[in-house]
Amino acid sequence: MGRHMEWAGRMSHMWGIPRKMMFMAVGAFAKTVANFLNTTSVHNADTLIRNVRYRPPGVPLITVSNHMSTLDDPVMWGFKGFPIFDATLGRWVLAAEDICFKNAVLSYFFRLGKCIPITRGAGIHQEYMDEALEHLRNGEWLHTFPEGKVTQEDVPIRRLKWGTASLIVRSPVTPIVLPIVHRGFEEIMPEKSVFGRRPPVPLWCKKVKIIVGEPILFDLPSMKQMAISMSRNWSSPLLGWPATGEGEGTRLDEAAQRFLYAHISDQIRGVMEKLRTLSLEKLKI
């Protein structure tokens, strides 16, 4: 618990100065890798920038993307015109605990970078999912990699984990959900390169293509009612999840949650797969 350093993730930590310095340094690195060492093109960048900068006050933003390398974040935000140096606008991101929070130094580094530790395989009700939910409650921006792992093969989008869907449902204000698909990072930081391992530094002279979709709209009241109705015939084993929601007719038991999270995840996955196909077409132009 101690190594997670929640205090370092707060904006009030040392008046926000370490976080601002971190965003300046990491932003410079991302800009260099994305624009000077490599070539990055972004389709529909204005939609992303508009929702980061100008969405209505109090409305959270969740961006979701595929995960092709350990450099996807932050380098995917390094394209020209994106406000990557602004620590206040910067995203929070769910980060693997076993990689980013191995020791005190890494924990402090990633906490300053607005990373939230997530234990892979620990389910959607683990402690730090509540921290992510708190940031959504405050109207902030959260990025997730809902596939839950790095996939460098050019294959269809994997079945998504339910963590992102659960955050969408449990957020007091329904977030704007913006899908993003990219390709090219697997060439900048391949998992197996030098002696079968990742290269010590990012490779260069590669092309990165980022496709930003349009916001995915969720009619959650109607979807919750459908989930309550459809889950009455749920026959799969249950794990004892706590019920969510308030009020008669909107409270979701575990079966209803499972149906709803699966439905939302499938909808997001379908949109991301369409963007992946579009990215293939863009490469041919």
The strand pair at 176-183 and 207-212 is best described as: antiparallel
Residue 249, pLDDT score: 60
DSSP helix/strand/coil, 230: helix
How does pLDDT run across 229-277, given as a tens digit for each residue?
988 888 878 888 988 876 656 789 999 999 999 999 999 999 999 999 9
Per-residue pLDDT band for 285 (boundaries 50, 70, 90) equals: low
pLDDT in tens, 201-232: 999 999 999 999 999 999 999 999 999 998 88
Helix, strand or coil, per DSSP, at residue 105: helix
Cβ neighbours of residue 25 closer than 8 Å, sequence gap 6 or more? none
Has residue 1 got a pLDDT over 50? no
- The dihedral built from the CA positions of residue 66, 69, 71 and 76, taken in this order, carries a sign that is negative
pLDDT tens for 50-71 read: 999 999 999 999 999 999 999 9
* Six token digits for residue 111: 């906490």
Other CB atoms within 10 A of residue 46 CB: 10
* Average pLDDT for 40-55: 97
Q: What is the mean pLDDT of residues 92-111?
A: 95
Count CB atoms within 10 A of the CB of residue 67. Answer: 19
DSSP 216: B
Residue pair 275/182 in contact by the 8 Å Cβ criterion: no
Q: Can you give the pLDDT at residue 248?
A: 58
Give pTM, 2 decimals.
Answer: 0.95
Q: Is pLDDT of 142 > 60? A: yes
